[in-house]
Amino acid sequence: MTAMLRVVLGDQLSRGIAALTDLDAARDVVLLAEVMGECTYVPHHPQKIAMVLAAMRHFATALRARGVTVRYVTLDDPDNTASLSGEVARAVAALRPSRIIATEPGEYRVRQAMRSWADATGIPCEIREDTRFLASTEAFARWAEDRRQLRLEFFYREMRRKYRLLLDGEAPEGGRWNYDAENRKALPATMPIPSPRRFPPDSETRAVIALVASRFATHPGTLERFDYPVTAQDAEAGAADFLTHRLPQFGDWQDAMAAGTPYMFHSLVSAPLNLGLLDPLDLCQRAEAEYRAGRAPLNAVEGFIRQILGWREFIRGVYWLHMPDYAAKNALGADQKLPGFYWTGETDMRCMADAIGQTLTLAYAHHIQRLMITGNFALLAGLDPDAVDRWYLAVYADAYEWVEMPNTRGMALHADGGIVGSKPYAASGAYINRMSNYCGTCHYDVKDATGARACPFNALYWDFIARHEALFAANPRMAMPVRGWRAMTDQKRGKLRARAASLRNALTEGIRI
Ligand code: FAD
Ligand code: DLZ
Ligand code: SF4
């Protein structure tokens, strides 16, 4: 009889995952199950499915090499029940363990299912805290208690002190906690950008790619350019490549965008990090070491650490603090259906076509593309948050609900009414023009707001301010655009609203814009 059944989910592929800490290799069995339910609850990008399944298979191989017994269920196993709960029940029936041990999952939906495993199988199920995060959900809830507003900046400072990162005694290194203002340079016309190290698939991954190609042909996105790391060693090599070659410039160009330049100076660590192939504290400490050795400037290293130690943990804290209510939030009453071009990239807006196009071919877009291009458009056009959430969860290789949802509903759509950010990240074409070279080759004129070829972001921006004028007038951080709107002539306001109405109508009717 098996002593313990230890369940490891597809995004829990860390050697030190809580469910395995006291593993008895001689008596316990580790369950990893490829299941259709997890591959289809949204139409995940085929590269995301391939990455998860290939990483699961490599993780199982590494466990077996350590003498561990693994019950590995493949997607094409004829007895596969298609769900995590079904596979746990089947394993319990076959192995008769005395107990199930699992680690808290990254989605509320899966947590609810996991909590039913004990009753469903008739044996105890111990669910352990996921210790891979730097702020536990309890610690975050304690921090959030009694605060009127949750703000990243204060959380981040506490995390810097707690983990002793970039400190000079008790003060922040360099005298400031945050060098955000130095992360906003626009890219010059010629700027060499080092290509990131990528990882061509080995034979095991190629087998997964073939399986995914045959099963998920209808999901949006292509498989041809799959080259994600699927082992801890490769993920480590990818992170080292970033720390050496791109971190020094990460700070200056963190908010910049350029056509046909998908990665800029970004780290590309999110997908392997969220799977468990990298350790967040190790990444932060190694980035700090680059600064201490004089190889990377403070604005770059602080910016990178802020994203991982600050934003990533803050976002996860918000998710668990506010679920399940968070998933229903729609503070701006947005209800426009998601335009088809989100799934195809077929639009005349150069910035949108570029960001969506690379998303479909790479399952990746960097933060400013997600926030200020596709997210900003969804915000301004009033797209339904449920549909937008579903899209972001489906198309990115790094997307799991704990991180995707507060970024989408909160940061991008302001549908949470200001839990994640104190004001909407709304911007007209002028911002996109300043931070990218998209507009120069666009069908639309970024300087025009009301003509037939006027940049859609411009009229939609003012229409967004007008639609929420009363709400925004009461928010000091939105007072300026409201004043700008009110200062316009009636004639100008009428033209802007007419242009926006025709754009919104085109979205409803499926007319190409
Ligand atoms: P870098 O720019 O190199 O940043 C370094 C790391 O910091 C990232 O790998 C990530 O782990 C962390 N990070 C940075 N910003 C955030 C943030 N806002 N929230 C959480 N972690 C952050 N990130 C995901 O990991 N999964 C998602 O599903 C996801 N969905 C998003 C949806 C929207 C609408 C927006 C605006 C952002 C989303 N993000 C998501 C955050 C961010 O865009 C990605 O983490 C980042 O683009 C990943 O690329 P990178 O590894 O090259 O990041
Ligand atoms: C994303 C994903 C996919 C595509 N497939 C599987 C799978 O077959 N088996 C599995 O255990 N996990 C998979 N995952 C990851 C889960 O969806 C993830 O663990 C939950 O969403 C919780 O974060
Ligand atoms: Fe995007 Fe408008 Fe610029 Fe075209 S003109 S690339 S739509 S911001």
* pLDDT for res 406: 98
Q: What pLDDT, in 10s, does the model give residues 450-467?
A: 999 999 999 999 999 999
Q: Rounded mean pLDDT of 138-145?
A: 95
Quick one: the chain helix, strand, coil %, rounded to 5? 55, 5, 40
Position 182 pLDDT exceeds 90:
no
- How far CA 451 is from CA of 440, 492, 498, in Å, comes to 18, 12, 10
Beta-bridged to residue 127, according to DSSP, are 102
φ/ψ (deg, to 5) at 140: -65, -40
What value, to the nearest 5°, has the Cα angle with vertex 38 and ends 33 and 39? 105
Question: How does DSSP assign 187-198, residue by residue?
Answer: PPSS---PPPP-
Please tell me the predicted confidence (pLDDT) of residue 188.
77
Neighbours of 64 (CB within 10 A): 13
The whole-number pLDDT of residue 2 equals 73
Percent of the chain clearing pLDDT 70 (strictly above) = 99
Residue 103 β-bridge partners: 128
Cα 415 to Cα 419: distance, rounded to the nearest angstrom = 9
d(Cα 272, Cα 230) in Å, to the nearest integer? 7
Residue 41 CA: which ligand 2 atom is closest? 17
The per-residue pLDDT for 253 is: 87
Q: Peptide bond preceding 324: is omega within 30 degrees of 0, i.e. cis?
A: yes
Ligand 3 centroid to Cα of residue 349, in Å, is 6
Report the separation in Å between the CA atom of 105 and the middle of ligand 1, taken as the mean of its atom positions: 19
The answer for residues whose C-beta is within 8 angstroms of residue 84's C-beta and 6 or more apart is 7, 9, 33, 35, 37, 38, 110, 113, 114
Query: Which two tokens mark 195?
Result: 């290509």
Show the ligand 2 pocket: residues with CB < 6 angstroms.
9-11, 33-35, 38-39, 44, 49, 52, 84, 105-107, 110, 400
| pLDDT digits 0-9 by tens, 408-419 | 999 999 999 999
Neighbours of 21 (CB within 10 A): 12
Q: Which atom of ligand 2 is nearest to the CA of 9?
A: 11
Mean pLDDT of 246-256: 91
Q: Which of 261, 411, 245, 399 is nearest to 326 (CA)?
A: 411
- CA 331 to chain CA centroid, nearest Å: 21
Q: Which of 383, 403, 409 to mutate to test the pocket of ligand 1 (most atoms within 8 A of CB)?
A: 403
* Tens-place pLDDT, residues 382-398: 999 999 999 999 999 99
pLDDT in tens, 285-306: 999 999 999 999 999 999 999 9
Share the mean pLDDT of the chain.
96
Percent of the chain with pLDDT over 90: 94
Burial of 480 (0-12, 13-18, 19+ CB in 10 A): exposed
How far apart CA 123 and CA 5 sit, in angstroms, is 11
Work out the pLDDT band at 247, boundaries 50, 70, 90: very high
Check residue 331 and report its DSSP letter: T
Residue 42: nearest ligand to its CA?
A: 2
Nearest ligand to the CA atom of 247: 1
* Ligand located closest to 432 CA: 3
3-state secondary structure (DSSP) of residue 336: strand
DSSP class of 339:
P
- Phi then psi dihedrals of residue 99, to 5 deg: -160, 150
Q: Answer whether residue 183 shows pLDDT above 90.
A: no
The amino acid that residue 213 corresponds to is A
**Vertex 406: Cα angle to 404 and 407 (nearest 5):** 60
User: Rounded to an integer, what distance in angstroms lies between the CA atom of residue 129 and that of residue 59?
Assistant: 21
Q: 345 C-alpha vs ligand 1 centroid, how far in Å?
A: 21
Q: Are 416 and 422 in contact (CB under 8 A)?
A: no
| Ligand 3 pocket residues where CB is under 6 Å | 349-351, 429, 432-433, 438-439, 442, 444, 446, 455-457
Q: Which ligand 2 atom is at minimum distance from the Cα of 105?
A: 22
DSSP one-letter string for 229-287: --SHHHHHHHHHHHHHHTHHHHTTTTT---TT-SSTT----HHHHHHTSS-HHHHHHHH
Residues 6+ apart with CB under 8 A from 210: none
Is the per-residue pLDDT at 1 higher than 90?
no
Rounded to a whole number of angstroms, the CA Rg of the chain reads: 24
Q: Which of 47, 270, 388 to mutate to test the pocket of ligand 1 (most atoms within 8 A of CB)?
A: 270
- Whole-number Cα distances in Å, 21 to 37, 102, 242: 28, 11, 30
Please name the residue whose Cα sits nearest to atom 2 of ligand 3: 455
In this structure, which residue's CA is closest to atom 10 in ligand 2?
10
Pocket of ligand 1 (CB under 6 A): 266-270, 273-274, 304, 307-308, 311-312, 315, 366-367, 370-371, 375, 392, 396, 398-399, 403-404, 407-408, 411-412
Best probe residue, ligand 3, of 341, 349, 499, 512 (max atoms within 8 Å of C-beta): 349
Distance, C-alpha 218 to centroid of its chain: 23
Distances (CA, A) of 439 to 185, 429, 435: 17, 8, 10
The protein residue whose alpha carbon is closest to atom 6 in ligand 3 is: 439
Which residues are CB-neighbours of 417 under 8 A, at least 6 positions away? Answer: 329, 331
